[in-house]
Amino acid sequence: MLASIKNIVKRYGDTVVLDNVSFEINKGEVLGLLGPNGAGKTTTIRALAGLIGIDAGDILIFNDKQHVNNLNVKKRMGLVTQEVTVFDELTAEENLKFFGGLYGLKGTELKKRVSEALEFVGLTEHAKKFPKKFSGGMSRRLNIACALVHQPEFIIMDEPTVGIDPQSRNYILESVKRLAENGTTVLYTSHYMEEVQAISTRILIMDQGHIIAGGTLKELIKRIQHEEKINITVENPSEGLTEKFKSIQGVKNVIRDGSDYIIISGAGYGNLNRVLSVAQEKGGVSNISADKPTLEDVFLTLTGKNLRDEGEK
Ligand SMILES: Nc1ncnc2c1ncn2[C@@H]1O[C@H](COP(=O)(O)OP(=O)(O)OP(=O)(O)O)[C@@H](O)[C@H]1O
């Protein structure tokens, strides 16, 4: 095991941001931490990286108790933050030299690692350029290279693909896979289902400061595979329709987005007709369908929320 996180609690004022979070990170795995904005992913990562203290619980990494500025642990890990933290006034190569230098690399070793890191993220031919000339995707790739230049055994990536073009996104996902193939352990946070699904060997789902489910993709889908999901569009939804749906026997969750409703029922209830008749009575139906759950639905079922941000496709 590479890390063990036991019952960690983090408060900001009266708000409990992490509420008894526990999980383990196994050596060599790509652990996907999936959750909506505000779930507590970044706070978990900051605590793991020793950037913030915690109010209760324990974090062990490399068998060492993590605390703020534990340099022994820090040396062996890399952190890719959500914000790009490279220097605009240094070239790509100089940025890498700077970050490598922070970890004590020098001379030919530093030169070698810098050129390897540039190659790893596909920026070799841009080595002498300044990041302010880079596209969003290139800046993010340089940001990743800066966290890798000291060849850490464990790397944490906090939503490294937010707001970038699909090509750079794929490049980053491919590089995570290559890192794992080379034996690096990766903790990867995202609110993009497809990403986590594509690269993770194991997935944790986080919401409102709690880890609410964990397992391989197969295990997570199995948890809800027998449940029933009904999508229905109601023409003129009347007051209290959500509550009315919720009162149908076997209904576990109702998610409303304007006139569109998603109704999740437990196994074997066969609620399609009941949902239809409630909707007809309370507004009129323009569309209805039932389908088999996906990983997105695992999240929906467990939290009652859509994972995507408003406005995202
Ligand atoms: N320094 C802080 N002071 C007060 N509240 C904070 C602070 N940092 C985070 N929070 C709150 O803690 C909660 C969890 O935030 P966190 O950034 O960990 O979530 P997240 O899952 O990483 O979301 P995002 O994807 O938006 O970064 C949020 O409600 C946030 O407002």
pLDDT digits (tens, 9 = 90+) for 180-212: 999 999 999 988 888 888 899 999 999 999 999
CATH number of 3-222: 3.40.50.300
Rounded to two decimals, the ipTM of the complex is 0.94
Helix (H) or strand (E) holding 217: helix 217-224
Across the range 35-61, mean pLDDT stands at: 93
The closest alpha carbon to 88, from 50, 54, 47, 134, belongs to 134
Q: Which CATH superfamily is domain 226-297 in?
A: ACT domain (3.30.70.260)
Domain locations along the chain: 3-222, 226-297
Going by C-alpha positions, the residue among 218, 226, 191 that lies closest to residue 299 is 191
Distance 114 CA to ligand 1 centre (A): 33
User: Phi and psi (nearest 5°) for 209?
Assistant: 80, 10
Amino acid identity for residue 5 in this structure: I
Q: Which atom of ligand 1 is nearest to the CA of 209?
A: 14
Is the CB of residue 150 below 6 angstroms from any atom belonging to ligand 1? no
Question: Is the separation of the CB atoms in 281 and 270 below 8 Å?
Answer: no
Q: Which pLDDT tens digit goes with each residue over 61-117?
A: 999 999 998 889 989 999 998 888 899 999 999 999 999 999 889 999 999 999 999
58 alpha carbon – ligand 1 mean position (Å)? 20
**Range 114-128 burial, b when 16+ CB lie within 10 A, else e:** beebbebbebeebbe
Measured in Å, residue 150 CA sits from the centre of ligand 1 at 29
Ligand 1 binding pocket includes 179 (Cβ within 6 Å)? no
